[in-house]
Amino acid sequence: MKLDIVQDAKNHTFTLTIKIESFKTLRDYETIHNLINAISLDFDLDPEISLEDLKNITSEARKEESEEVTCEIGPNGIDIAF
């Protein structure tokens, strides 16, 4: 699984960049979902994204022929783009 995590100390955010091709099995989705939730807890955020949401996001990204999904987690919440 190809995954990059960058912490921006100035803005107090984490950015996860995951290659779309990394999402192959249910275990891959669960791993990324758990990682997003674990980082969210550092900001006292309720888990804002479900496993089903993550599947829908990657499905939409594939339709748009995107190569990666970017998830920014910070004090203001979770922002996902592709």
Question: What pLDDT does 23 receive?
Answer: 93
Question: What pLDDT does 25 receive?
Answer: 95
Model confidence at 1: pLDDT above 90:
no
Residue 33, domain extent = 3-81
Question: What pLDDT does 2 receive?
Answer: 79
Question: What pLDDT does 63 receive?
Answer: 95
Q: What is the DSSP string of the chain?
A: --EEEEEETTTTEEEEEEEGGG--SHHHHHHHHHHHHHHHHHTT------HHHHHHHHHHHHHTT-SEEEEEEETTEEEEE-
User: How does pLDDT run across 17-62, given as a tens digit for each residue?
Assistant: 999 999 999 999 999 999 999 999 888 887 678 999 999 999 999 9
Tally the domains of the chain: 1
